[in-house]
Amino acid sequence: MLDLLESLSVGVVDGFEIKAAMYADLDASPDHYDPEVFDQADLESFGDSWQFVGVEVSARRAGFTLGHASIWSCEYGLLAGKWFNPLTDHPVRSDDWVNGHGESLLREALDDAHRTLVEVNTPTIPVESETP
């Protein structure tokens, strides 16, 4: 089970309730990056003041999750003297979220939800009945 750190409601888009949830990414590590990416202070503070997380954006209707999209290995916490929260912050644009991928994750979750609705409304699913 994933460790939920934070979640928020993004609102209703195209008739779907959009939620974003942030989970601890236990598989990611600064060791997976080139040595130039993080300085020694960043490496020493990993796990204490910052960590990697994943963000999942889901599209729900009538209480059911019909579509989702996610991105992982996002920085969360105090890193290099700056606070990072991928649910709410973007280093360049204050109107975007998930490290600048928020809008594309939203579109991907909506596309997935629309595909799911098409699949569950398909009348060609064979139904076998028993006859006595």
Does residue 23 form part of some domain?
A: yes
Please return the burial class of 125, using the count of CB atoms within 10 Å of its CB with bins 0-12, 13-18 and 19+: exposed
Give the range of the structural domain holding residue 54, as residue numbers without chain letter. Answer: 4-120
| pLDDT single digits (tens) 12-41 | 999 999 999 999 999 999 999 888 889 999
When mean pLDDT is compared across 44-48, 84-88, 93-97, the lowest value belongs to 93-97
In a domain, 116, yes or no: yes
75 is a domain residue? yes
Could you tell me if residue 126 is inside a domain?
no
Structurally, how many domains does the chain consist of? 1
What's the average model confidence in pLDDT over 55-80? 94
Instruction: Please compute Rg for the chain using Cα positions.
Output: 19
Q: Looking at the domain assignment, is residue 129 inside a domain?
A: no
Burial class for 81, CB neighbours closer than 10 Å (0-12, 13-18, 19+): exposed
pTM over cut 0.85 = no
> pLDDT tens digits for 113-132?
999 998 888 665 554 545 44
Report the pLDDT value the prediction gives residue 59, as an integer from 0 to 100.
96
The answer to whether residue 71 is domain-embedded is yes
